[in-house]
Chain A
Amino acid sequence: MKVLTRRDFLRVSGITAAGLTLSRLGFDLTPAYVYAAELRTELRIKGAKETPTVCCFCSVGCGILVSTDKSGKVINAEGDPDHPISEGALCAKGASSYQIAVNEKRLSKVRYRAPYSNTWKEVAWEWALGRIASNIKKSRDKSFMEKNADGKVVNRTNGIASVGSAAMDNEECWLYQKFLRSLGLIYIEHQARI
């Protein structure tokens, strides 16, 4: 079969009447149709479970539909067309949500770095939370101030501070501030300040 170059294309098309089709050029189209059959005709999210959520990045609050397969794995995340603010739209960041869910770099183990150590060590939740709790108690008991320099009752923990977090849900934020204030912290800050 003759090889048609770009120049040839121009020549061929230049002399061919309107309505030219490839078959009239004598090409065998069978393999192409074989390909068409093997194309993804099945929508890859067909039958997948769709869960509505809201984007985690900026404060517009765009709707996202997350598709998960039978094993529960995220297979797609795109705009929620029913959402009145975003109407299915997502920017570059929102459109990347899938890579938050499916990402081998995710932290999936509790890690501990001992004083003066140069490595992380994977540890169990139970151990880590236990040790954090005892650190909290140690720091709190050591730095707790009942009365300040003016002799006024302040009942606070001077030795622990916290920053965080607008990355949490409302309920979690509320629970977190309740936790911190019950410990007596006053140095409670987060992203809203910066």
Chain B
Amino acid sequence: MTNHYIDFRNADVILNMGSNVAENHPVSFKWIQAAKNKGATFIHVDPRYTRTSAKADIFVRLRSGTDIAFLGGMIKYIIDNNLYDEFSVKNYTNASFIVNPKFSFDDGLFSGYDPTKRSYDQSTWALEKDENGVPKRDMTLQNERCVFQLLKKHYSRYTFEKVVSITGTPQEDLEKVYKAYASTSAPNKAGTVLYAMGWTQHTVGVQNIRAMSIIQILLSNMGIAGGGINALRGESNVQGSTDAALLFHIIPGYMPTPREQWAKLEDYNKTTPSTKDPRSVNWWKNRPKYIASLLKSFYGDKATKDNDFGYAWLPKLDKAQDASWLNLFDQMYNGAFTGFFSWGMNPACSSANAGKVRQALAKLDWMVNVNVFDSETGSFWQGPGLDPKKIKTEVFQLPCAAFLEKEGSISNSGRWMQWRWKAANPPGDAMPDGEIIYDLFKKVQALYKKEKGAFPDPIMNLKWDYETNGKFDIHKVAKEINGYFLEDIKEHPVDKKEYKKGTLVPSFVFLLDDGRTSCGNWIYSASYTEAGNMAARRKKDDPTGLGLYPQWSWAWPVNRRIIYNRASVDVDGNPRDPERAILKWDAVNKKWLGDVPDGPAPPMGTEGVYPFIMKPDGVASIFGPGLKDGPFPEHYEPLECPIEKNIMSSQRINPVIKIFEGAADTFTTCDPKYPFVCSTYRVTEHWQTGVLTRWLPWLVEAEPQMFCEMSLELGKLRGIQNGDRVIVETSRGKVEAVAIVTLRLKPFTIAGQTVHQIGLPWHYGWLQPKDGGESVNLLTPTIGDPNTMIPESKAFMANVTKLTAQPAKKSKKA
């Protein structure tokens, strides 16, 4: 999230699209209701009428997988009706930048496409620079190669006629949403968007979010109270675990994972984003300080200037290697791994094409599974259709403490890092994850010390000293993440002050690239300082009156509560919306008042710095040349879709997605055997695969069994009545469910034909409860977004039929 949960209350219009906020982030609805109480309009756009839709002022349906068409139509509407905020578009975005003359877009393909490689050469997407290397601009926005004109041209194709035909949304509904949302372009109006996996779990996932980002930029809704782009993340600490880089492509603090082509630290530091524009802060220029400090937090005294701070000890990816989830399990399925950790996860139910995952697990020599309860992953070897006597995998199931049985912090979607205190002891032998990891590594290290082995350096040189009085101490890890001064610094280059060796750095601003500082994750630097554990703060002062609560917990970075907040002020630093002023320049005392600003520099003025300090060009990107599938979002059909031809172009699917071709990966499109669009989702009463919630009797009572929601029309078509048992099937697998035949789903008219959509929750699994049903991920395809490789679990093709043998019905009616 650029903003935070309480901030919803500051919005005039709230667009919930690609998520189901009332059901999946229920308590945040408090702040939507607070906005509604003040007259805000709440819009829900979704294939299905949900508990969220029930509370929406405007509810509009669209076919799953057509968000770009929907939003592309909104971009066209905003431009056609001159509803964008001209000041902001000209000054704070790249709308005026000039694009390379070789850039083109034709019939669904951007320039530079190589069909054999299924990828783009992005060089023609570059922005033109002047002789000083500064991007060329046309502040009149008239140049036909300027971003604004290219945007206008690109989305001129998204006519109502086409958008209606693709999405199945009636034109009057589109207009209703476009009009309401575009009203937030006035500087004194705020519009916010709340999304989740409904946008990410598509083969155009990143571009769904880009499309909305473009709208937010056009309407000057970024960096303001009540605005922003707000991902409602699914787990209590999935923000923190992402920040900590438990992902193949990054190391802590969103720095790229080292690759073969960056053999030395010097090479790695060449990845540092640069700009020749003196007005762009380009905060990422500091990367060398962050990587040096990170390496010091890994290897301590063993990391020296002479050995590149141990950079060689970090594993390197191949040049363009993608080791993401779907590839990981594909590799496992192909027998590439002997060992596997499934730590606090349940991939046997959570992964797309879970049937493939279950087979893959049987190809391991050993697996470590750490969980609070047993899971379909830990017990996969006794799962349906498997014979334990034929499965070699050695399984270790380690019991861990639950959240209230240990101390530590988690980061919510609003980037608030909140400390949790320990309330009780874990049961029996269960231990906090941190202690398990700590002890396990000590064992590994001892083995390597004793027996040597392959390249022991990174293991033997690892700094692993997080004990107090012989016991693992989570505070020591928290401090390591914040970072230390490792030497006495007489006069720090930043503030000319003296800092003592062994003290905690006040923030990442003080990190150095010469080995004199350590920091485990630069974006968390300032979270645990000499002033104490910031995440543990519980003071409720609210000086702006906008619900920032700057002394409650701590938010990364540097306790900034709204990111890009310099976009909320005019060039003189005055709030563009005085009623919702999160930032204001105090010209007399030469300082910012309000939220922690995006960098301390004075207002932009005519010579000062641009507002988007994390972007190399200093402005928001309407044109985004960095993505694999194009600088502008373009509608493509899901890999599995109900229509033969993409109405927008000859490219039916995203031209750069990777197609898995193994035996376990099959796909169907426009196949009469699988005629219905299918989506997976969650309900309030369960969480993820149900790995916790299926063991909690109160929640099982409330949502006891797998269901499949469908329209009355589809029920009639298939002879299915409410409460009947049905089979839902794709080319990958099938699951049983209870039919919920409901008027909350409706068929769509797509390109003149009737398209039915069904949906199922992904909370269930064979292990518990016994009559709960199986995982819906037995149905989902192995296919991902080209940028993120997040699977397309929101739009695939399935069939549903009535189960011939229906269980005896109880006569008593509810």
Contact = CB atoms under 8 A, between A and B. Distances in A.
**Is any CB of A less than 8 Å from a CB of B in the complex?**
yes
Interface of A: 51-62, 64, 66, 68, 72-74, 77, 82, 84-87, 89-97, 99-101, 103, 105-118, 120, 125, 128-144, 146, 148-150, 152-194
B344 A93 contact: no
Given A51-B421, A182-B462, A186-B257, A168 B433 contact: yes
Instruction: Report, nearest first, the 6 A-B pairs whose CB atoms are least far apart.
Output: A108-B428, A164-B343, A169-B408, A165-B344, A61-B412, A167-B344
Contact of B441 (A62, A116, A182): A182
Interface stretch (B22-30, B53-61, B64-72, B220-228): B22-30
A189 B342 contact: no
B317 interface: yes
B236 to A, nearest CB: 5
B705 interface: no
B718 interface: no
A191 B516 CA distance: 35
A110 B370 CA distance: 10
A188 B693 contact: no
B263 A152 contact: yes
Most buried by A among B248, B312, B382, B520: B248
Contacts of B325: 163, 189, 193-194
Nearest to B340: A161
B500 interface: no
Contact of B27 (A89, A134, A157, A159): A89
B315 A157 contact: yes
Contacts of A161: 328, 331-332, 337, 339-341
A181 B351 CA distance: 23
Contacts of A103: 373, 695-696
B433 A156 contact: no
B173 interface: no
Nearest to B528: A171
Contacts of B684: 91-93
B73 interface: no
Contacts, number: 486
A191 B791 CA distance: 12
Contacts of B695: 99, 103, 105
A22 to B, nearest CB: 35
Contact of B248 (A94, A100, A187): A187
Most buried by B among A112, A130, A188: A188
Most buried by A among B235, B261, B331, B406: B235
A158 B234 CA distance: 30
A164 B338 contact: no
A155 B340 contact: no
A194 B365 contact: no
Interface residues of B, number: 167
A164 B437 contact: no
A119 to B, nearest CB: 8
A100 to B, nearest CB: 5
A109 B361 CA distance: 22
B779 to A, nearest CB: 15
A99 B697 contact: yes
B318 interface: yes
Contacts of A53: 403-404, 420-421, 423
11 contacts: A57-B692, A60-B26, A66-B424, A113-B397, A128-B396, A162-B341, A162-B342, A165-B246, A176-B244, A176-B343, A180-B341
A186 B246 CA distance: 10
B266 to A, nearest CB: 14
Nearest to B538: A82
Contacts of B629: none
B524 interface: yes
B239 A59 contact: yes
B453 A56 contact: no
Nearest to B1: A59
Given A87-B30, A194-B790, A110 B406 contact: no
B447 A153 contact: no
Contacts of A72: 424-425
Contact of A173 (B246, B313, B352, B430): B246
Most buried by B among A61, A129, A148: A61
Nearest to B472: A175
Most buried by B among A142, A173, A174, A185: A173
Given A163-B342, A193-B790, A177 B315 contact: no
A86 B27 contact: yes
